[in-house]
Amino acid sequence: MTHDEQHPADQPIPAPSPEADASPAPWDVPPGHRSGFVAIVGRPNVGKSTLMNAYLGQKVAIVSPKPQTTRTRIRGILTLDRGQIIFVDTPGIHFPKDKLGEFMVEEATGALPDADVILWLVDLTRPPGPEEQHVAHIIKRDRAGRPLIIAFNKRDLVTGEQAQLYRTAIFRLLEPEKPTAWMEISALTGHNLDKLLDLLLDNLPEGPRYFPEEMVTDQQERDIVAEIIREKALHFLQEEVPYSVAVLVDEFKERSDDLVYISAIIVVERKTQKMIILGEKGRMIKKIGQAAREEIEALLGKRVYLDLWVKVKHKWRKKEDELRRLGYRMPKKKRKRKRKR
Ligand SMILES: Nc1nc2c(ncn2[C@@H]2O[C@H](COP(=O)(O)OP(=O)(O)O)[C@@H](O)[C@H]2O)c(=O)[nH]1
Ligand SMILES: [Mg+2]
């Protein structure tokens, strides 16, 4: 099966919603219903994916302590009675060193022109530096008068004094622009997430529901499966190997009502990395497979037979055609929408 074919298993993941029948139809939203896109942007590793997952109440985007975990734009849809927020989780804005990095930064900055609200996430544990300056520059360039909310994350790890110091530094980088509002949060503990949500909703325009309420993400099941496998590989691997890993799901077959067969390829850049992933007597790939299988079974609510393979594609991160084949397709450059509200 090729990757372009539609697969019966490629259904949007439904939200756990026991009282689905009780909610209004999309055209039947209450007065004052707000909706739109919130682009979550910032440096790598500040907690963007953690924040989106926290709002959605489930893991839609993979998370790891290693920078550059998120590689593509991932939409997560939060449907409430008073509004619908489409979060756009993005790769971290950084100074790219290869084609994959260029793709990731394009993915991130490309989310700005389509956003109704820009949410800049800042990590309070790291002193603002060149990367924050770079993010500020891009926001100033692309904001076009839209609401900008800054959330200072990881508040659980720092003192109030440090939070204030870094906040002032961030505001200075943004000058002469000012944020519409700001908030100190912890995506991990949930601190102030309700208040931030109110802020986001207040700054979205009035509008209808764009997506059915049971839809939590626009990713296909097989994309999520590939990401889960990549997350487990990231989790068990050290040093530079994670950056060289890509995952392709090449078979996804329902064998019976409660058994799914999945075959996936872990792509790396060097033979030595392949050896590391396989591990002594295949121990490492077994660990990755086991952890991934458990999570995929929970996601699909079915038993899973997971077949993992490892393949070397020399320097794939530097080659545009390889990137495309692995699903990292450079977006066509869009003209910037100038909007004033
Ligand atoms: N202590 C703490 N850790 C956090 C918080 N938010 C995220 N993290 C951690 O920061 C790391 C990077 O998170 P991730 O969501 O992948 O960052 P992203 O690259 O911006 O998407 C992970 O290890 C998270 O568990 C927070 O509010 N407090
Ligand atoms: Mg992320």
Q: What's the token pair of residue 134?
A: 């770079």
What is the distance between the alpha carbons of residues 303 and 283, in angstroms, rounded to a whole number? Answer: 22
Q: Which domains does the chain have, with CATH numbers?
A: 25-202 (3.40.50.300), 221-325 (3.30.300.20)
| Cis ω before 24 (30° cut-off from 0) | no
H or E stretch including 79? Answer: strand 74-79
**Structure confidence by residue, pLDDT tens digits, 36-87:** 999 999 999 999 999 999 999 988 998 988 888 999 999 999 999 999 999 9
What is the distance between the alpha carbons of residues 341 and 205, in angstroms, rounded to a whole number? Answer: 10
Q: Is the pLDDT score of 275 beyond 80?
A: yes
Output the 3-class SS for 251-270: EEEEEECCEEEEEEEEEECC
Mutational pocket test of ligand 1: of 41, 45, 135, the residue with most ligand atoms within 8 Å of the beta carbon: 45
**Structure confidence by residue, pLDDT tens digits, 296-305:** 999 999 999 9
The pLDDT value recorded for residue 4 is 42
Give the residue carrying structure tokens 């009675």: 81
Give the residue carrying structure tokens 């994309």: 223
Percent of the chain with pLDDT over 70: 89
Q: Does ligand 1 lie within 6 Å of residue 47's CB atom?
A: yes
Whether 95 contacts 110, CB under 8 Å: no
Q: Does ligand 1 lie within 6 Å of residue 90's CB atom?
A: no
Q: Is the pLDDT score of 268 beyond 50?
A: yes
Q: Does ligand 1 lie within 6 Å of residue 188's CB atom?
A: yes
Q: Based on the number of CB atoms within 10 Å of its own CB, is 144 exposed (0-12), middle (13-18) or buried (19 or more)?
A: middle
Q: What's the token pair of residue 124?
A: 């309070």
What is the distance between the alpha carbons of residues 204 and 303, in angstroms, rounded to a whole number? Answer: 41
**Structure confidence by residue, pLDDT tens digits, 214-230:** 899 999 999 999 999 99
Q: Does ligand 1 lie within 6 Å of residue 109's CB atom?
A: no
Pairing mode, strands 74-79 and 259-268:
unpaired
Atom of ligand 1 nearest to the CA of 46: 20
The pLDDT value recorded for residue 90 is 97
Q: Does ligand 1 lie within 6 Å of residue 156's CB atom?
A: yes
What mean pLDDT, rounded, does the chain reach? 90
The pLDDT value recorded for residue 10 is 53
| CA 244 to mean position of chain CA atoms | 19
The pLDDT value recorded for residue 331 is 62
Nearest to 71 by CA among 335, 261, 339, 316: 316
Confidence of residue 254 (pLDDT cuts 50, 70, 90): very high
Please give the residue that has the higher pLDDT: either 5 or 9: 9
The contacts of residue 211 (CB under 8 Å, 6+ apart) are 77, 79, 84, 86, 218
Nearest to 44 by CA among 150, 132, 112, 114: 132
The pLDDT value recorded for residue 8 is 45
Whether 186 contacts 156, CB under 8 Å: yes
**Structure confidence by residue, pLDDT tens digits, 142-164:** 999 999 999 999 999 999 999 99
The pLDDT value recorded for residue 341 is 46
**Structure confidence by residue, pLDDT tens digits, 282-337:** 999 999 999 999 999 999 999 999 999 999 999 999 999 999 999 898 766 554 45
The pLDDT value recorded for residue 48 is 97
The contacts of residue 268 (CB under 8 Å, 6+ apart) are 241, 244, 245, 274, 277, 310, 311, 312, 313
Give the residue carrying structure tokens 């720092």: 158
> Nearest residue CA, atom 26 of ligand 1?
154
Measured in degrees and rounded to the nearest 5, phi and psi for residue 184 equal -95, 130
The pLDDT value recorded for residue 27 is 63
